[in-house]
Amino acid sequence: MNVLLIIVGYLILLLLLGWGSSRMFRGTSKDFFVASHSIGPFLLLMSVFGTTMTAFALVGSTGKSFERGIGTYGLMASISGLVHMAIFFLVGIRLWALGKRNGYLTQIQFFRERFESQGIGYLLFPILVLLVVPYLLIGIIGAGKVIEPVTAGAFPELFSNPTIPAWAGGVPPWLTGLVICCVVLTYVFLGGSRGTAIANAFQTLVFMGMGIVAFYFVVQSLGGLEQAGKVPMRINEQGDVVQDFRYAPETRQLTPHVPPKKIGKVADFSSTDHTDKHPHLSRDAIRVEFSKKNPKTGELKPFEREIGMPLITFITYLFIPLSVGMFPHLFQHWLTARNARAFKLTVIAHPICIMIVWVPCVLIGSWASGLLPPGIPPPAVLSTTLKLLVGDPWLTGLLTAGVLAAIMSSLDSQFLCLGTVFTNDIVMHKAGDKAYTDKQKLKIARMFIVGIVTLTYVLAMLVKNANVFDLAIWCFSGFAALFPLVFSALYWKRATRAGAFACVGSALVSWLYFFHKSGYGGEYFIGPGIVPAAVCFLVSSFAMIGVSLLTTPPSSSTVDRFFPNQS
Amino acid sequence: MKIFWIVFLALLFLHQDGWNWGTEEIVWGGMPIGLFYHVLFSLACSGLGTWAVFRAWPKEWERYAEQTVQKEQTPDSQA
């Protein structure tokens, strides 16, 4: 119950912060959408970083590391440090300058003018919404998966139908999702873009701080960093996968399993190369057969999992972080910057912030492979490990609040961005800027946000057991496939309207094709382990280049306007 | 900017550390080497960002946007 009290307290604190930031709100639509371009370096770093780190970063990375091991860090985090930094520097600053000069509030406004086409906006709008929705889903699903285990036993009579029997009495995902959506909607509506940036900064500090605290207590519980390194599951000389230790909450000590507990078997174990190895601490791809209990029937069901990863998967994952160049919510954050210098801190510190958040999560996920049952849902690994190893309900509550902070600091920007895009790119674009008062514009934006959040909430309840990491990768893959659009718009004068349509169309078709092949959101690789984002990116790049070269170049006035420093 | 692109491409190459693939050697009192290498890589990315901010800052875009601000401020200040 104490855990729940802390979480509720944190949510109330956020609402108070939203109320406080509403007092700074100037009441105009420009202030609501882009904070009147007034955000300084620190708030920009915190809001950009908080927005890019969601349930994916904390809940997803721990779950993925539980499945595949420490390679998860290089797979997504370190490469994101490089690619994100480069995109902020090469794309973000230019978009900010063009946005400020031309008064853009959304990226669609930029693309419409750069490609001299109104139609590109109508094509992009549903695609951006389609791709943001999975991003919202992972937040709502992640929150549900975090709260249920840590509140297990709090309301045994009220919530008697848990996801797995061990979580009986915990707050169910449907209630967590509902509360989180309402809290975020409230502070976004109260403070607009500035309120969101302030809440983001606060929440980013909370989840970074809590991540470090969680790591410290987990390491202490495991007997230090060196001892923790011996905890992940191990392969013995017979090819069995075993857990050498168990954590006894009653004595708060790590005790050896004698003999080691068998939890699985290496498929096709023919080589002694893997003997006595902890597969989570390296990246060799090894297939392991496990079994998990059906929570309803108690029946044991076998399943296979690949630990580690093929090198080709690791290499092709570098296309996925390109997605940040096309995130509509990030574009909006860039536009809130007071001046170009506000970007400096973000360019320098973003890779380090990623490191601070991801390294502890990846290590905790790998260590957890030696303590938790292999069939546990990956999104629940972090909270279950915290509950097992940290134990103290107040501390667990604070750490859980940190996880929620990471989730909500992305949801808020995405909610706000969807409202901004709909109001400016569809309603205002059609009706004209003078057709509505500022008050009416805000009302339209808020109504659209409520509609999308309701739809997303219903979808989240339908796919509540989806893997947060995999769903996020699909969302990122779609945005990465669109990256050639923004890059060519900024760096290639010859990029044409027809090229832009071909680029967006081919990105959509290739993404939908692979998404369908994956069974709508599962982990999917092409051939020897190539991620679909790589193929989608190449297809859309070729479409942009080929079609642009075959069609009439943009007018000289457009070129002069968008390449002011080269004419 | 040329230096930025060269270092960026070099880092992209260095990211694919196939030589660390099968080893689970522990360094720094508990850190698997495959993870430790990528921690150093993250620091190198921040280093490149620092260099870019101080040595390759796009001043022309900063001036371009600031000209707009001055234009926007003129009528207000006159009023």
What class, spelled out in words, does domain A2-223+312-562 have in CATH? mainly alpha
Mean pLDDT of B1-12: 95
pLDDT at A317: 93
Nearest to A368 by CA among A35, A67, A49, A17: A67
Mean pLDDT of A485-503: 97
Distance of CA A17 to the CA centre of its chain: 24
pLDDT at A195: 80
Contacts of B35 in chain A (CB under 8 A): 70, 73-74, 359, 362-363
Question: A148 near A60, Cβ under 8 Å?
Answer: no
Above 60 in pLDDT, residue B75?
Answer: no
Nearest to A51 by CA among A266, A327, A442, A290: A327
pLDDT band at A174 (very low <50, low <70, confident <90, very high): very high
All structural domains of chain B with their residue ranges: 2-78
Nearest to A250 by CA among A391, A115, A441, A453: A391
What single letter denotes the amino acid at residue A129?
V
Above 90 in pLDDT, residue A531?
Answer: yes
Above 90 in pLDDT, residue A433?
Answer: no
Residues in chain A: 567
B40/chain A closest Cα distance in angstroms = 9
pLDDT band at A471 (very low <50, low <70, confident <90, very high): confident
What single letter denotes the amino acid at residue A199?
A
A38/chain B closest Cα distance in angstroms = 12
Mean pLDDT of A118-146: 89
pLDDT at A19: 85
Contacts of A565 in chain B (CB under 8 A): 60-61, 64
* Token reading at A268: 């096709």
Give the rounded percent of residues in chain B with a pLDDT score beyond 70.
85
Nearest CA in chain A to B11: A82
More confident call, A33 vs A482: A482
pLDDT at B78: 39
**A139 to A90, A94, A111, A323: CA distances (angstroms):** 29, 30, 28, 18
Question: A470 near A522, Cβ under 8 Å?
Answer: yes
Mean pLDDT of A13-37: 77
- A282 and B24 within 8 Å at the Cβ level: the answer is yes
Summarize pLDDT for A273-308 with one digit per residue, the tens: 778 889 999 998 899 999 888 767 778 889 999 999
- B11 and A82 within 8 Å at the Cβ level: the answer is yes
Residue A311: which of B21, B32, B48 has the nearest Cβ? B21
Mean pLDDT of A103-126: 93
Give the rounded percent of residues in chain A with a pLDDT score beyond 90.
48
What single letter denotes the amino acid at residue A44?
L
| Cα–Cα dist A421/A416, whole Å | 9
* Token reading at B78: 């006159």
Contacts of A78 in chain B (CB under 8 A): 15, 38-39, 41-42, 45
- Asked which of A236-250, A263-277, A483-497, B9-23 is least confident by mean pLDDT, the reply is A263-277
Nearest CA in chain B to A354: B42
B78/chain A closest Cα distance in angstroms = 21
The rounded mean pLDDT for chain A is 89
Mean pLDDT of A462-467: 80
Contacts of B40 in chain A (CB under 8 A): none
Q: Return phi, psi of residue A530, to 5°.
A: -80, 135
| Cα–Cα dist A110/A124, whole Å | 12
Distance of CA B41 to the CA centre of its chain: 11
All structural domains of chain A with their residue ranges: 2-223+312-562, 232-307
Summarize pLDDT for B34-65 with one digit per residue, the tens: 999 999 999 999 999 999 999 999 999 988 88
Contacts of A284 in chain B (CB under 8 A): 21-22
Helices (H) and strands (E) in chain B, counts: 3, 2
- B21 and A226 within 8 Å at the Cβ level: the answer is no
pLDDT at A251: 84
What single letter denotes the amino acid at residue A415?
F
Q: Where are the alpha helices (DSSP H) in A171-240?
A: 173-221, 225-228
Instruction: Provide CB contacts within 8 A for B79, sequence distance 6+.
Output: none
Bridge partners (DSSP) listed for residue A253: A248
A243/chain B closest Cα distance in angstroms = 17
Mean pLDDT of A305-329: 93
Residue B41 touches chain A, beta carbons under 8 Å = yes
A159/chain B closest Cα distance in angstroms = 41
End-to-end CA distance of chain B: 42
Residue B30: which of A225, A339, A351 has the nearest Cβ? A225
Mean pLDDT of A116-144: 90
Do the strands A253-266 and B26-27 form a parallel or antiparallel pair, or are they unpaired? unpaired
Instruction: Provide CB contacts within 8 A for A262, sequence distance 6+.
Output: A240, A241, A242
pLDDT at B69: 53
DSSP A521: T
Question: A497 near A547, Cβ under 8 Å?
Answer: no
Nearest CA in chain B to A80: B42
Mean pLDDT of A307-320: 93
Above 70 in pLDDT, residue B76?
Answer: no
Above 90 in pLDDT, residue A24?
Answer: no
pLDDT at B79: 33
More confident call, A137 vs A487: A487
B2/chain A closest Cα distance in angstroms = 13
3-state secondary structure A404-445: HHHHHHHHHHHHHHHHHHHHHHHHHHHHCCCCCCHHHHHHHH
| Cα–Cα dist A29/B23, whole Å | 55
| Cα–Cα dist A149/A159, whole Å | 12
- A281 and B26 within 8 Å at the Cβ level: the answer is yes
- A81 and B58 within 8 Å at the Cβ level: the answer is no
pLDDT band at A103 (very low <50, low <70, confident <90, very high): confident
pTM of the model: 0.90
A83, A89, A94, A280: best to mutate for the B interface, most B CBs within 10 A: A89
- Asked which of A20-24, A239-243, A302-306, A547-551 is least confident by mean pLDDT, the reply is A20-24
Residues in chain B: 79
B12/chain A closest Cα distance in angstroms = 8
Question: A385 near A368, Cβ under 8 Å?
Answer: yes
pLDDT band at A179 (very low <50, low <70, confident <90, very high): very high
More confident call, A69 vs A415: A69
- A363 and B35 within 8 Å at the Cβ level: the answer is yes
Residue B46: which of A73, A344, A352 has the nearest Cβ? A352
More confident call, A466 vs A215: A215
Residue A549 touches chain B, beta carbons under 8 Å = no
Bridge partners (DSSP) listed for residue A288: A266, A305
Does ipTM exceed 0.85? Answer: yes
* Token reading at A245: 């230790």
Nearest to A123 by CA among A349, A340, A426, A356: A426
Summarize pLDDT for A538-554 with one digit per residue, the tens: 999 999 999 999 999 99
| Cα–Cα dist A431/A449, whole Å | 19
Q: Count CB-CB contacts under 10 A for residue A454.
A: 11
* Token reading at A388: 């097992």
Token pair 């004595």 is found at A251
| Cα–Cα dist B28/A229, whole Å | 11
Q: Where are the alpha helices (DSSP H) in A23-77?
A: 29-34, 41-52, 55, 61-68, 71-72
Question: A54 near A142, Cβ under 8 Å?
Answer: yes
- B39 and A348 within 8 Å at the Cβ level: the answer is no
What single letter denotes the amino acid at residue A88?
F
* Strand, helix or coil for residue A101: helix
- Say whether the peptide bond before residue A259 is cis (omega within 30 degrees of 0): yes
- A74 and B15 within 8 Å at the Cβ level: the answer is yes
Summarize pLDDT for A338-362 with one digit per residue, the tens: 888 889 999 999 999 999 999 999 9
Summarize pLDDT for A274-283 with one digit per residue, the tens: 788 899 999 9
Contacts of B65 in chain A (CB under 8 A): 96-97, 100-101, 339-340
Residue B30 touches chain A, beta carbons under 8 Å = yes
Above 90 in pLDDT, residue A436?
Answer: no
A447/chain B closest Cα distance in angstroms = 32
What single letter denotes the amino acid at residue A100?
K
A:42-61 residues touching chain B, CB 8 A cutoff: none
Contacts of B45 in chain A (CB under 8 A): 78, 81-82, 85, 351
- A74 and B32 within 8 Å at the Cβ level: the answer is no
